[in-house]
């Protein structure tokens, strides 16, 4: 068994695109907590089981996409939000995902979004080619997840959903 840790950070606001505020980005992340399927292409559905504001229990069902651990499976997650700063997703197998909002030195528009993943992989042994391959795959997925979250947040704002 191995825990594969990867992270990716992207600037939220880039030249030529209307800047998101930290409140707008946070609204997008909170929408993601309750509607994960809008943000994550491999998720088929997301059902909120209990919503206590900054703590949500949810059941996420994955599409059948060939991943031996998650394809077609439903897993329960506990999601804790720390307003305007961080959202933590904790799965039953010990996998943890952190979504972190940070502000850079240039002021309020200088926002960054980081996703850090700690994936538990009982099917992979440490130091093997399978671990390296999984790490590379997860790193690509981390990049896609951050960029997709920023993109979807902009779309939700444009359509008035947040």
112 Cβ contact partners less than 8 Å away, ≥ 6 residues apart: 9, 10, 11, 12, 101, 102, 103, 104
Domain boundaries, the chain: 2-156
Given 3.30.530.20, 3.30.300.90, 3.40.50.300, 2.40.50.140, which CATH number is that of 2-156? 3.30.530.20
Structure tokens at 47: 């059902």
- Model confidence at 128, pLDDT cuts 50, 70, 90, reads very high
Q: Judge whether residue 57 has pLDDT over 80.
A: yes
Torsion of CA 61, 141, 20, 59, to 10 degrees: 10
Q: Are 93 and 105 in contact (CB under 8 A)?
A: no
Q: Give mean pLDDT, residues 72-100.
A: 94
Q: Judge whether residue 62 has pLDDT over 60.
A: yes
Between CA 39 and CA 156 the distance in angstroms is 11
Percent of the chain residues past pLDDT 70, beyond the cut: 95
Structure tokens at 48: 């909120």
What's the gap between Cα 5 and its chain centre? 14
Between CA 162 and CA 160 the distance in angstroms is 5
**Helical pair 129-158 and 22-34, crossing angle rounded to 10 deg:** 110
pLDDT at 108: 86
Between CA 65 and CA 82 the distance in angstroms is 32
Q: Are 136 and 129 in contact (CB under 8 A)?
A: no
């Amino acid at each position: 068994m191995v825990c594969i840790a990867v992270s990716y950070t992207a600037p939220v606001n880039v030249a030529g695109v209307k800047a998101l505020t930290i409140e707008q980005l946070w609204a997008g992340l909170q929408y993601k907590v309750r509607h994960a399927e809008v943000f994550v292409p491999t998720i088929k559905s997301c059902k909120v089981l209990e919503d206590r504001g900054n703590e949500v229990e949810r059941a996420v069902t994955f599409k059948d996409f060939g991943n031996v651990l998650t394809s077609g499976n439903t897993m329960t997650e506990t999601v804790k939000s720390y307003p305007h700063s961080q959202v933590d997703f904790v799965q039953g197998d010990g996998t943890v995902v952190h979504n972190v909002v940070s502000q850079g030195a240039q002021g309020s528009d200088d926002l960054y979004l980081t996703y850090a993943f700690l994936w538990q992989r009982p099917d992979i042994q440490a130091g093997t080619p399978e671990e390296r391959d999984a790490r590379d795959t997860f790193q690509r997925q981390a990049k896609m997840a951050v960029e997709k979250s920023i993109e979807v947040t902009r779309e939700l704002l444009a359509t008035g959903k947040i």
